[in-house]
Structure 1
Amino acid sequence: MNGKDDRVKGAFIGIAYGDAFGMPAEMWSRKTIQEKLGHIRSFLPGHPDNKISSGFAKGEVTDDTINSILVTEMLSENGGCVDAQVFVKKLRYWIKHSEKSSAVVGPSTAKALELIEAGIPMEEAGREGTTNGAAMKIIPIGLLAGYNMKKEINSEHLLHEVLELCRPTHYTSCAISAACAIAAGAAAAVHGEKDLRKIYEYMMGMAEKGNEYGNPVGSPSIVCRMKMARYFVELDPEKALKNIYDYVGTGISAAESIPAAAALFYMSKGDPVLCAEYAANIGGDTDTIAAMACGICGAYKGAEGFKKVDVELLERTNTISFAELTEKLLADTSYIL
C-alpha cells in the first residue's frame, strides 16, 4: 500500500476510531462526563444513563461512520462523483432497517428527509439545515480530492462536490462552510501536506468560499470561530478544552462542532489517538467532533497511527473492513484532474 493509500485507510480508521471513542459521552456536559465516566482514556460501551449511547457496545460506531460509508458507496457507484439522490436512497434504507438510527439521526437530516418524502425539491428541503450533519460525512469527498493531485488540490471541484452533498439536507451557508472546512482538511492531509498551519489555513480558506453558497442563514462565522479556537490550543490542554467548550461551543451546530473539531486536530498535532481522547472528554457532540477531527488526523498520520488491536476491535464490532473501504473509494480516480 503506497503512502496516499495508507493515508486514505488511516482516515477511514480515524472516522470510526473517533466516533466509537466519543460515543459513550455523546451530548453530555463536561461535568457530567467527569461524574459518570471520569477521564475517558479508552473505548467504552455506551453508558446506561445516556439516552443516545445506551445500548451501544464497546467500539461500536454511530451515524457519523455509517454516513461516511454510505457516501463512500455512493462515490464508488457513481464514478467518484456525488449523486445526492443516490445518497438519500441509501440513507433512507439505513434509517428504515437500523434499530439504532432513531437515536442518532440529526434533526436537520430528519426534517429534510420528511420534506423530500413529501415531494419538496432537495434544494428547498435542505434550506434550514444548520447542524453538523453535512460535515460529519464529508471526509470521503475530501480524500478523493486530495488523492490524485500531483501539484495542487482542485479546490473548485472539491467545492462543487461538497455543495452537491449538502444540497438535500444542509443547503445553508454555515453548513456548507463547515463541510468545506472538514473536506479541505482531509484533502490536504491525504495529499501529503505536513505543515499543520498550512492545512488549517486551507481549511479556513475553503470555509470562506463555502460560506458564499446555499441559503444565507444567520450564523456565527465558521472561519472566525476557527481563528478563535486556534488561539486557545496554545494553552494547557485542560484549559484549552474548557475554553473551546465555553467560547467556541461543542454542540450539534455547524458553527460550534466544526471549529472545535478543527482545533482538536491542530491541538493534537495530527495524532489521532490523542485527538480522540481530547474529543471524548471535551463535552457536547463528542462522537461527531471526534469522527471529523480523527478522520483528518488519520489522513495525516496514516493507518500506522493506530494500534492493531484497536483497528481489529472496530472492524470486528462493526463488521467493516477499512482496507475494503479504501479500495472501494479509490476504485476509479481517473476523473480527478
Structure 2
Amino acid sequence: MAQSRADYYNKVLGALACGGMGDALGASTELYTIDEIKSRFDGFIDAFHTPPKDTFAGSLEGVCGLITDDASQMYVFAEGLIETGKAAFDTRAWTKCLLRWADMQPYANYKGPTTEQVVKALKEGKPTNTIGRIGTSARQAPNVGTTNGAAMRVAPAGLVYPGEWEKACELAFATCLPSHDTNIAIASACAIAAGVATAMTADATVDSILASTLNGALYGEQLAAERARVVAGPKIEHRLRLALNIAQNNNTLETFLRELEGYVGNSVNAHESVPSAIAIFAFCQGDPWQTIYAAANAGNDTDSIGTMAGAMAGAYKGFSALPLDKYQFFYQVNKKDFDVERIARELSALC
C-alpha cells in the first residue's frame, strides 16, 4: 500500500517522539524494582516527574521530562543519517556520531558500561577490540559488548527502510561494530530495527511487527557469526519467544510486568531489556502511551525499555495517536538540543 510523505512523517515523528517520551518517563523510575516504584510514587507512575536523587537522572540533576542517553543517541543517529544519507551511512559515520554525542552535556554523563569504555578508546586512538581481552589472548570477555546500548538507539535504521527489515538490520549492524559487536547485542539491535521497519508500513499489524522482530533477531545472529563476534550467552530469539509467551498469557498489567521481571529480566543486559521491551509493545497492542506507561513501571532499565518499546509503538500508530498534552510538555523541555519535529521532517525525506 503506497504511503505519502505526510504518512511517513506521521510515523517517523511518532517513533521519535514516543521513544523520547518513553525515555523521559522512565528516567524517574530507572533502577527501581516494581515494588519500589509503587511505594515511591504511591502506585504506578503515569506522568513525567523530576527524577529522584537515587536514579541516574536524579543524581545528574535531571529535570522533569528531559531525555537521557537512550533517546539522545537515537536522535544523534537520526541526524547522522540526515547528514550522510542512508546508503552512505557506515560504521565510520556512526563513530563520528558517537564521538559527537560523547561531547554533549548532560547526555554523555549517562554513558552505559560498554559505551563508556568504547568512547574512551576511540578518543585515545586505541582499537576497541582490545577492551576486556583475556590475558594475552585475542578473546574478549563474553560480557563485553552485550548491553542494550545499540538496541536503545537503533530505531532510525528501521524508520528509513519502511518494510525492508533486512536493510534495516544491515544498517543497524553498522552501528553495532564499534561498541556492541556481539551476537547478543547485534541480534537485539536487529530485532528492534526490523520491528520498526515493519511498523512503518501502512498495513502493519502487531503480529507482523512481532514476526519481524523474531526474524531480525535471527538475522542478527547470522550477521554476528559471519562478520562480528559470537559469545556465550542467551539467544535473543529464544528469550524473545519466552517474553512474548508471558505477554500472551497475561491479561493484567501488574501480573504481566512481575512475570516479565522474574522470568526475563529488565536490566541493561540486552538479553533482558530488549525482549522485555518488545513483549511490552505486544501486551499493550502497540498503543503508544500505554506502551511507555507500562515500560516506565517495568522496573530497572525503564528508560531504555521505554525508548525501544516507544519507538516501535510510535512508528506503528503514528504521532496522531500520542496524547498531545504530554507530547507538548516533552517537546518544550527537549527542543533546545533536539527538535524532534525538524528531525522527523528531514528523516522522513529518506524513507
- TM value normalised by structure 2: 0.88
Displacement of 1:41 in angstroms is 1.1
Identify which of 86, 97, 105 aligns with 2:111.
105
Deviations 1:295-322 (A, max 9, x none): 1000011011112222211111012333
CA separation of 1:51/1:119 partners in 2, compared to 1, >3 Å: closer, same or farther? closer
Paired with 1:226 and 1:315, the residues of 2 have a C-alpha distance of: 32
Contact 1:276 1:294 (C-alpha < 8 Å) held by counterparts: yes
Aligned letter for 1:73?
A: E
Query: What residue number does 2:102 align with?
Result: 95
Secondary structure in 1 matching 2:268: coil
- After TM superposition, the structure 1 = structure 2 runs for residues 300-315 of structure 1, keeping only pairs within 5 Å, are 300-315=316-331
Query: What residue number does 1:205 align with?
Result: 215
Deviations 1:275-334 (A, max 9, x none): 11111111010011011001100001101111222221111101233321112213344x
- After TM superposition, the structure 1 = structure 2 runs for residues 1-337 of structure 1, keeping only pairs within 5 Å, are 2-38=6-42, 39-54=44-59, 55-81=61-87, 82-102=89-109, 104-121=110-127, 128-146=144-162, 153-212=163-222, 213=224, 214-233=228-247, 234-235=249-250, 236-319=252-335, 320-333=338-351
Paired with 2:121 and 2:339, the residues of 1 have a C-alpha distance of: 34
Secondary structure in 1 matching 2:106: coil
Aligned letter for 1:133?
A: G
Contact 2:217 2:236 (C-alpha < 8 Å) held by counterparts: yes
Point out the more displaced range, 107-116 or 44-53.
44-53
Displacement of 1:93 in angstroms is 3.2
Aligned letter for 1:89?
A: K
Paired with 2:10 and 2:207, the residues of 1 have a C-alpha distance of: 22
Secondary structure in 1 matching 2:161: helix
Paired with 1:199 and 1:99, the residues of 2 have a C-alpha distance of: 34
Displacement of 1:166 in angstroms is 0.4
Aligned letter for 2:84?
A: N
CA separation of 1:100/1:208 partners in 2, compared to 1, >3 Å: closer, same or farther? closer
Paired with 2:56 and 2:211, the residues of 1 have a C-alpha distance of: 37
Deviations 1:128-157 (A, max 9, x none): 3100000000000111111xxxxxx33442
Displacement of 1:125 in angstroms is 5.9
CA separation of 1:168/1:125 partners in 2, compared to 1, >3 Å: closer, same or farther? farther
Identity %: 30
Displacement of 1:100 in angstroms is 4.9
- TM value normalised by structure 1: 0.91
Point out the more displaced range, 116-125 or 258-267.
116-125
Aligned letter for 2:204?
A: K
For structure 1, the 5+ residue unaligned runs are 147-152
Contact 1:264 1:279 (C-alpha < 8 Å) held by counterparts: yes
Paired with 2:334 and 2:245, the residues of 1 have a C-alpha distance of: 37
For structure 2, the 5+ residue unaligned runs are 133-139
Deviations 1:166-221 (A, max 9, x none): 01110100000000000011100011243212211111011011012121011111
Paired with 1:184 and 1:129, the residues of 2 have a C-alpha distance of: 20
Paired with 1:246 and 1:114, the residues of 2 have a C-alpha distance of: 34
Aligned letter for 2:123?
A: E
Displacement of 1:122 in angstroms is 5.1
Paired with 2:123 and 2:113, the residues of 1 have a C-alpha distance of: 15
Paired with 1:72 and 1:125, the residues of 2 have a C-alpha distance of: 27
Point out the more displaced range, 323-332 or 195-204.
323-332
Contact 1:125 1:168 (C-alpha < 8 Å) held by counterparts: no
Aligned letter for 2:25?
A: F
Paired with 2:13 and 2:106, the residues of 1 have a C-alpha distance of: 28
Aligned letter for 1:94?
A: W
Aligned letter for 1:330?
A: S
Secondary structure in 2 matching 1:93: helix
Deviations 1:21-63 (A, max 9, x none): 1110112122221222231011111112324434221111111
Displacement of 1:94 in angstroms is 3.1
